[in-house]
Amino acid sequence: MTFKKQTRDQLERHIRQTAGDVHNIVITGHAFSRMRQRGVLAREVFACLQTGRIDLPPEEDMKTGRLICRMQRYGTARNLAVCVGLDDDDPKLLVITVIV
């Protein structure tokens, strides 16, 4: 089944399981820049992907065809959102940007 046909629960489960091994997470240059700018550590991004929730509907990136999911994690110190791209042909999670 392609990612675009999966439910939010199925996508969350896939992202959490895949993020369980940090070697499956690829952080783009843009995301690194935003992390540095916003003072977000890599371990926070990993934790968001491993325990976060998809609250907004996933969207297809018209340029790349990836399904973009916004994983959100609400914490006591701050809330964090990580936009991750899913590609049916690539098992890794592509971190596109990080929002606080």
Residue 89 sits in a domain whose CATH number is 3.30.2310.40
The torsion region of residue 40 among left (phi > 0), alpha (psi -120 to 50) and beta comes to beta
| Residue 57 φ then ψ, to 5° | -65, 135
The DSSP secondary-structure symbol of 77 reads S
Share of the chain above pLDDT 70, in %: 99
Q: In angstroms, rounded to a whole number, what is the distance separating the alpha carbons of residues 83 and 9? A: 16
The mean predicted confidence, pLDDT, of the chain is 94
Token pair in block for residue 83: 């936009």
At 78 the pLDDT is: 87
Q: What is the pLDDT of residues 38-63, one digit of tens each?
A: 999 999 999 999 999 999 999 999 99
Q: Could you give the number of structural domains in the chain?
A: 1
Full residue range of the structural domain in which residue 92 is found: 3-99
